[in-house]
Amino acid sequence: MSASQSVNPIDPAEALRLRSDFPVLRQQVHGKPLVYLDNAATTQKPQVVIDRIANYYAHENGTVRRGVYKLSEQSTRDFDASRTKVAQFLNAASPSEIIFTRGTTESINLVAATYGRKFIQAGDHILISAMEHHANLVPWQQLCLEKDAVLQVVPITDAGEMDMDAFDRLLTDRVKLVAVGHVSNALGTVNPIREIIEKAHALDIPVLVDGAQSAPHMSVDLQALDCDFFTFSAHKLYGPTGVGILYGKMKYLEIMPPYQFGGDMIHSVSFEKTVFAKPPAKFEAGTPAIAEVIALATAVDYLSAIGLDRIGVYEHELLAYATAQMLEIPEVRLIGTASHKAGILSFTLKGAHPHDIGTILDREGIAIRAGHHCAQPVMERFGVPATARASFSFYNTREDIDALVKAVRIVVNLFN
């Protein structure tokens, strides 16, 4: 049975009802109703998340872990409850394996700066893919430069899939870490992450998964996946900016040195010596983004009530609908035609630069992304300077896709 048959689908009426939860979507842009199709960059926030932040600052604000008064104690409880909620959402073995950072970028930098600096030696290999976001490329590249280690890159096929034969060849016992994206933000490709993890583990190699584009769009079970690190950003999961999640298996968190030093990450301090706290506190120096972490729990509840499996199926239907229509336009070139894709549609148009596409679509009220999507090597691989990218959410509808396709036809007529 396919995933789409096994879940009760989101129908158009429900999508419209869900859309009404997002106040920002009720506006007009250049006199046209806003069609927001840049969900891979950031998602909009439902009213419940906005209310949670406003309520926190209006009635609850108090720092965490330090106070013995009611406001501080309640904030600490809610902050810790968010950690537990995220652990359950991802099916992590323990809330202590969830570290709050500022975003996916900081999470990956944290692993590179701690695990990487301690365990990667000269001559070691770090294996990434050619479709990584710069956030999962530059930290490893810089670590390799510092350590005289070697960054190995698994190439991608013309369809935008990881070349698994090349992966098998590059996965030698010199590899000390595999770091790959679950879903490509530039191509929409869903990588065979289970296979990658199983093969790496067969050689005792730890795997970091960049889940920035997967966690908001499919259910993730970390214990089933068995990856060693997993990360995503709250702002792409209908939550606030400024919060990232880093999951790490406790066996690694225990042997990793701290990332930053300061308050909250210590057990005891004297002028001669500091004893660090246990994970996760060891990796959370300083006052965290308290309101935002607490509101992330609200976003997780909101999404869980809809159901991640239903969201994935619905967004995939939108992708199929959009892909079929775009393929009817001869000037369109789709970049990323993998057999297994999430709701991301990257394309170029004959005669028009992606920035022109983005600007003209904006005049029609349609927000898409135009650029290299922080994945310049992907652009190079496909021989384009940039692409236009539409990315979907459960609050998008077929009417949004129709508006997109109509506007793309306007661009085609202007430039050809």
Q: Which stretch binds ligand PMP (CB under 6 A): 4-12, 206-214, 305-313, 332-340?
A: 206-214
Nearest to 166 by CA among 130, 219, 205: 130
Q: Give the active site residue among 374, 376, 384, 409.
A: 374
Looking at the Cβ atoms of 43 and 104, the one nearer to ligand PMP is 104
125 near 131, Cβ under 8 Å? Answer: no
Helix (H, G, I), strand (E, B) or coil at 205: coil
Looking at the Cβ atoms of 236 and 405, the one nearer to ligand PMP is 236
- 170 phi, psi to nearest 5 deg: -80, -15
Q: Which stretch binds ligand PMP (CB under 6 A): 130-138, 139-147, 252-260, 356-364?
A: 130-138
183 near 214, Cβ under 8 Å? Answer: yes
166 near 153, Cβ under 8 Å? Answer: no
d(CA 120, CA 113): 10
159 near 184, Cβ under 8 Å? Answer: no
Instruction: Provide, rounded to whole angstroms, the least separation between the CB of residue 351 and ligand PMP.
Output: 28
**Residue 219 makes contact with ligand PMP by CB under 6 A:** no
Instruction: Provide, rounded to whole angstroms, the least separation between the CB of residue 236 and ligand PMP.
Output: 6
Nearest to 364 by CA among 326, 398, 400, 328: 400
Nearest to 171 by CA among 158, 159, 156, 153: 153
Q: Which stretch binds ligand PMP (CB under 6 A): 8-16, 24-32, 119-127, 205-213?
A: 205-213
Q: Scanning residues 84 to 113, which ones bind ligand PMP (CB under 6 A)? A: 103-105
Burial class from Cβ neighbours inside 10 Å (0-12, 13-18, 19+) for residue 41 reads middle
Among 46, 116, 160, 181, binds ligand PMP (CB under 6 A): 181
Size of the site for ligand PMP (CB under 6 A): 13
Instruction: Provide, rounded to whole angstroms, the least separation between the CB of residue 109 and ligand PMP.
Output: 9
Instruction: Provide, rounded to whole angstroms, the least separation between the CB of residue 62 and ligand PMP.
Output: 27
Instruction: Provide, rounded to whole angstroms, the least separation between the CB of residue 122 and ligand PMP.
Output: 28
d(CA 201, CA 371): 36
* C-alpha dist (Å) from residue 193 to 3, 161, 162, 294, 340: 18, 12, 10, 30, 12
Binding mask 340-379 for ligand PMP (x = CB under 6 A): ----------------------------------x-----
Q: Which stretch binds ligand PMP (CB under 6 A): 13-21, 209-217, 247-255, 338-346?
A: 209-217
Q: Which stretch binds ligand PMP (CB under 6 A): 25-33, 133-141, 287-295, 396-404?
A: 133-141
Looking at the Cβ atoms of 181 and 288, the one nearer to ligand PMP is 181
Among 37, 87, 135, 190, binds ligand PMP (CB under 6 A): 135
d(CA 206, CA 201): 7
Residue type at 338 in one-letter notation: A
Does the annotation count 374 as an active-site position? Answer: yes
Binding site for ligand PMP (CB under 6 A): 103-105, 133, 135-136, 181, 185, 210, 212-213, 233, 374
Active-site residue numbers? 374
